[in-house]
């Protein structure tokens, strides 16, 4: 019976929230089949290719106070840093040599990085590497700001919605932040022509299986080009420091459901997934994910960009990181490619 639901999902890319919930509740029985079908769908669009994105964590200053996040403004123990424009450009140049064709600039909401400063950095990266994509992950900004960044050459924007339930959103964020503003940002980013990434943490405090079923419906409706999900992992210096981590098994199962719902989606097996399970990223790829985002930030910054405790890959230099990942991916029968890896740019 659950097989029939998976088959219908594969065929129609759509189920009701109740049906998704049935699958989530009975995932033990159906996870292997879901992964098999998800991998088959992914192969249709992307073959054996796994895309890599160079993640440049360029500032851990943040004006926000998300209850889950280790770089929240209120964490006085976080040692703050920001990379200079030249350091960011140098990261991209190094990444290019290593085979990366997408650079992801991610950071806290740092007021230092005005539109002028960011546009200048984006233009410089695009000038050095016209064959590359620039992805931004800088949180909530104004329409004018998103527009200016797009005109400077940014191609994609990652902004996880974190939860599709406004009440749940309030439990994860202080009153200064709102679900409505998050959604405003996502809608505007789409209207500006960015390839947009939404997403959420798996097992965040107060999240229920029913919420996860609703997430699948939300993703289906919003239809983003990218979806980032990873387990919630507590950070000791946050209000959620004592909460439990989300699990790799739930995350991996949801990756399969997302692939079957949005067949062409660009879907990373995240660092958080590799943190809760040493083989998490490989399991993610084998369940339908097709993107990896290794950290390319300079070593001195790595240990300071701690969104959660025990984050992996904070000690190795970039070249070593990519060699390790390539081996891991080959062991699963997939192949890392030097490619921008755009949406629906598959085979």
Provide the binding-site residues for ligand SAH, judged by CB under 6 A.
68-69, 106, 108-109, 137, 139, 159-160, 162, 201, 230, 232-233, 235, 272, 307-308
Residue with smaller CB distance to ligand SAH, 275 or 290 = 275
Q: Quick one: 201 or 287, whose CB is closer to ligand SAH?
A: 201
Nearer to ligand SAH, 139 or 341 (CB): 139
Q: Give least dist CB 270 to ligand SAH, A.
A: 8
Q: Shortest distance, CB of residue 108 to ligand SAH, whole angstroms?
A: 5
Q: How far is the CB of 190 from ligand SAH (least distance, A)?
A: 16
Measured from the CB atom, the residue of 238 and 261 that comes closer to ligand SAH is 238
By beta-carbon proximity to ligand SAH, the closer residue of 59 and 256 is 59
Q: How far is the CB of 68 from ligand SAH (least distance, A)?
A: 4
In the complex, the smallest distance separating the C-beta of residue 305 from ligand SAH, rounded to whole angstroms, is 9
Choice between 253 and 334, CB closer to ligand SAH: 253
200 vs 334, beta carbon nearer ligand SAH = 200
Q: Could you tell me the smallest distance in angstroms from the CB atom of residue 81 to ligand SAH?
A: 15
CA distance 334 to 337: 10
CA–CA separation, 214 and 173 (whole Å): 19
20 or 232: whose CB is closer to ligand SAH?
232
Closest separation in Å from C-beta 330 to ligand SAH: 27
Sheet containing strand 335-337, edge to edge, reads: 291-292, 49-52, 335-337
CB of 140 to ligand SAH, least distance (A): 7
């Amino acid at each position: 019976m659950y097989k029939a639901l998976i088959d219908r999902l594969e065929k129609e890319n759509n189920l009701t929230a109740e049906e998704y919930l049935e699958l989530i509740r009975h995932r033990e029985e159906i996870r292997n089949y879901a992964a098999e079908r998800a991998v088959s769908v992914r192969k249709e669009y992307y073959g054996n290719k796994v895309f890599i994105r160079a993640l440049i964590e360029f500032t851990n200053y943040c004006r926000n106070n998300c209850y889950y996040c280790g770089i929240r403004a209120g964490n006085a123990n976080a040692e703050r840093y920001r990379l200079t424009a030249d350091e960011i450009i140098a990261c991209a140049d190094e990444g290019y040599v290593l085979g990366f064709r997408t650079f992801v600039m991610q950071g806290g909401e740092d007021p230092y990085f005005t539109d002028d400063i960011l546009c200048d950095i984006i233009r410089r990266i695009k000038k050095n590497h016209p064959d590359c994509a620039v992805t931004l992950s800088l949180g909530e900004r104004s329409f004018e700001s998103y527009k200016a960044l797009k005109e400077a050459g940014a191609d994609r924007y990652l902004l996880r919605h974190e939860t599709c339930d406004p009440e749940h959103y309030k439990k994860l964020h202080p009153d200064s932040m709102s679900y409505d503003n998050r959604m405003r940002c996502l809608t505007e980013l789409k209207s500006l022509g960015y390839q947009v990434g939404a997403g959420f943490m798996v097992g965040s405090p107060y999240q229920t299986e029913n919420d996860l079923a609703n997430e699948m419906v939300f993703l289906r409706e919003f239809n983003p080009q990218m979806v980032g999900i990873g387990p919630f992992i507590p950070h000791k210096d946050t209000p959620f420091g004592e909460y439990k981590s989300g699990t790799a098994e739930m995350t991996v199962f949801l990756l399969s459901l997302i692939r079957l719902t949005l067949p062409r989606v660009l879907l990373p097996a995240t660092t958080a997934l590799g943190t809760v399970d040493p083989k998490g990223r490989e399991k993610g790829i084998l369940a339908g994910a097709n993107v990896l985002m290794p950290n390319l930030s300079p070593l001195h910054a790595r240990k300071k960009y701690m969104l959660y405790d025990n984050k992996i890959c904070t000690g190795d230099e970039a070249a070593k990181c990519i060699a390790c990942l390539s081996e891991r991916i080959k062991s699963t029968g997939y192949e890392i490619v030097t490619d921008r890896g755009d949406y629906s740019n598959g085979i």
